[in-house]
Structure 1
């Protein structure tokens, strides 16, 4: 049985505030817990007015404190932005506060543009091959095996589950070599999904934490009672992508009737491409699309992205999706 989880970008809507976005995240996490979702992830993005999860570890603590059993973690922490020891300490602290519930998804993208990345890192003069070494250093801190000569406190002995994230073949290769679970960001970067999953499964090396490949694939789901209402709700996500690809990221805008049809062909084509891994529509339409995605990917777990302007409509969308998928 395929598991389902949620990836939340903690959107700041037009006219809204960061405080409201964070309150909505806690409420949505409780809703997902009641629906039976496996985990709830937030992502590290910087310098973006429409995303409130830049301080990812702090947001994870906020969400974990609002819930009881659902796993909570990062999808992901952009490891090149941080010293591995600092992340070991942060997630060791999270594990101490919420034992057995913390996930640490790791990526190597900056989570920002080059200007913001420089502000975070102070320098971009880094070894492009450092990501696997940094992951192994992080594993060493959690294992407290003495290889670094430093005991992470907190961190040593923490029960934190590691995942490798990717939107290309590189992440698949790293996850396979290290014997870690692999999550692919197909909700916005679908191009290499099939090849990445094949490479990961073919080259996977069993490890102390995982004896067989474990795959996660991201899928946009926007469900509503009718196809037309779902298309209307999806226009907020579409507007956000058009703004981002036009170099003008913004807070999440309210939906617009007929937005997709109003776009010039080049923007329609862009949306058709980047959002090709999506299930948008009435219950039957969503069910058909999700089953096709599961059949295509054979993923052990689907991580759902659900970008909707109205918080209650977002909760309703996840409820509809859970109900129809429980019947498949």
Structure 2
């Protein structure tokens, strides 16, 4: 059997389109993904951007699950720094009650990372280190590490962090939140004074719990120590993917969920019948990444014509180089071959692809072509 191939969807809003267009496109793509044989369909969580409509993953997961019948549906990932474990278990327990055995709960710590970065800024002691050099491992490009220091200094960063929490709230430790979720699902949660808490719906839900991470830091450690499956983000932080999976495997302890480590790795992918078409339909990606990393926030995804009109500076190119260099763009056999290299070098048990194009039909076609090539 081929390595399972799954989809991560941000519900991208195309230039000239609306959030409603993006959400309808998500439902349509999820139905097609089920037909094409993809294993999972995950929805991301992003806030306060003009170009992404996946701000409420639990709601969108419920809609996708209702529109499909077999494919697993889940979050990639719920950002725990923005809500309580109780709220997360209630939301996903509700969806699981209506679609039992199909729901994945992927957890991330971007909210905690925002708090850490802001704390470092306030202390005027930002963490910094020399970026790792660009290299190739077993045919897989590991680019130079991107520094988020400049982006973290953006006024928007602090303003958005404040909007995502109640006034005066503090961000709990990620490991503690994960432990609370595990306890709520198992029905073993006790408060500090021994009071039981039983979540309905939620307790006993057949959720598959995942941890997502972009480095070998706390996310990888938590996933390994608790014996949970781990998703490493080559598409978000390609420089750190090997560090992330190695840290997870080193920390792994068998659990009731897993007897041995289980790794999923993500990649940005655009497939078309020929290389020229693939490059053209993928051309808006660089401009879109530039909008995120410049502190503006994700803009509606540009058309090829809009991308061609942009005058790139050297600074622009440096800002997006690692993401462009590690995007898999090309014909079905070529992209399938690069995904196989990613799988082999990382030891991935599953692969997760994210594809964004301006035209929805082109995006659907990309997934169809890849699924056919991967499963042939």
TM-score w.r.t. length of structure 2? 0.82
* Structure 1 equivalent of residue 367 of structure 2: 318
- Tell whether the 8 Å contact from 1:64 to 1:72 is kept in structure 2 after alignment: yes
Give 1:11 shift: 0.7
Q: Secondary structure at the match of 1:121?
A: coil
* Structure 2 equivalent of residue 176 of structure 1: 224
* Structure 2 equivalent of residue 297 of structure 1: 346
Q: Secondary structure at the match of 2:76?
A: strand
- Tell whether the 8 Å contact from 1:260 to 1:268 is kept in structure 2 after alignment: no
* Structure 1 equivalent of residue 51 of structure 2: 50
Distance 1:255 1:244, change over 3 A: same
Give 1:146 shift: 4.2
Mapped partners of 1:199, 1:257: distance in 2: 41
CA RMSD across the alignment: 1.9
Q: Which stretch shows the higher mean deviation, 253-262 or 208-217? A: 253-262
Give 1:61 shift: 0.7
* Structure 2 equivalent of residue 237 of structure 1: 285
Distance 1:39 1:260, change over 3 A: farther
* Structure 1 equivalent of residue 79 of structure 2: 78
* Structure 1 equivalent of residue 121 of structure 2: none
Q: Which stretch shows the higher mean deviation, 268-277 or 216-225? A: 268-277
For the pair 1:117 / 2:118, whether they are aligned, the reply is no
Q: Deviations over 1:245-300 (max 9, x none)?
A: 22223111112387499522333333331244321012232133222212211201
Give 1:187 shift: 0.5
* Structure 1 equivalent of residue 185 of structure 2: 142
Q: Secondary structure at the match of 1:113?
A: helix
Q: Mark the structure with the bigger radius of gyration.
A: 2
Give 1:122 shift: 2.1
Query: Number of matched residues?
Result: 326
Mapped partners of 1:191, 1:27: distance in 2: 33
- Tell whether the 8 Å contact from 1:182 to 1:215 is kept in structure 2 after alignment: yes
* Structure 1 equivalent of residue 130 of structure 2: none
Q: Secondary structure at the match of 2:305?
A: coil
* Structure 2 equivalent of residue 161 of structure 1: 208
Q: Which stretch shows the higher mean deviation, 133-142 or 251-260? A: 251-260
Q: Secondary structure at the match of 1:136?
A: helix
Q: Secondary structure at the match of 2:107?
A: strand
Q: Deviations over 1:54-92 (max 9, x none)?
A: 111111111111100100010000011111111110011
Distance 1:13 1:209, change over 3 A: same
- Tell whether the 8 Å contact from 1:232 to 1:256 is kept in structure 2 after alignment: no
Mapped partners of 1:25, 1:150: distance in 2: 36
* Structure 2 equivalent of residue 89 of structure 1: 90
- Tell whether the 8 Å contact from 1:232 to 1:257 is kept in structure 2 after alignment: no
Q: Which stretch shows the higher mean deviation, 278-287 or 151-160? A: 278-287
Mapped partners of 1:188, 1:275: distance in 2: 11
Distance 1:194 1:261, change over 3 A: farther
* Structure 2 equivalent of residue 17 of structure 1: 18
Mapped partners of 1:257, 1:9: distance in 2: 21
* Structure 1 equivalent of residue 64 of structure 2: 63
Misfit runs of 4+, over 4 Å: none
TM-score w.r.t. length of structure 1? 0.94
For the pair 1:256 / 2:257, whether they are aligned, the reply is no
* Structure 1 equivalent of residue 318 of structure 2: 269
What stretches of structure 1 of length at least 5 have no aligned partner?
A: none
Give 1:49 shift: 1.2
* Structure 2 equivalent of residue 8 of structure 1: 9
Q: Which stretch shows the higher mean deviation, 211-220 or 228-237? A: 228-237
- Tell whether the 8 Å contact from 2:180 to 2:189 is kept in structure 1 after alignment: no
Mapped partners of 1:233, 1:43: distance in 2: 22
